[in-house]
Amino acid sequence: MLPVISRKGSPNIKGLGKLRYVVEQTFALLHHFKRLAVRWERRTELHDAFVSLAWGLICWRRLKNAQS
């Protein structure tokens, strides 16, 4: 993901709000897992593993809800 910040006085970037909403929603989904809201692990491998597990649970729950 690349940061997109418009400079002062430059024309507005169309669709920037849609991109921002997706990013904010993504962080909100991850923050439902309290351990990921504040990083407690010192090793990055553990944090990455918990993020992968969280995404797996998020996807599984969405698929389960879509089927019912």
User: What is the structure's pLDDT at 19?
Assistant: 61
For 53, the token pair is: 């597990």
Choose among 15, 20, 18: nearest CA to 3.
Answer: 20
Quote the Cα angle for 17-18-20, to 5°: 65
The chain-wide mean pLDDT, for the chain, equals 78
| 28-56 confidence digits (pLDDT tens) | 888 888 777 777 778 888 888 888 999 99
Whether the per-residue pLDDT at 11 is higher than 80: the answer is no
Q: Which pTM does this prediction carry?
A: 0.59
User: What is the structure's pLDDT at 30?
Assistant: 85
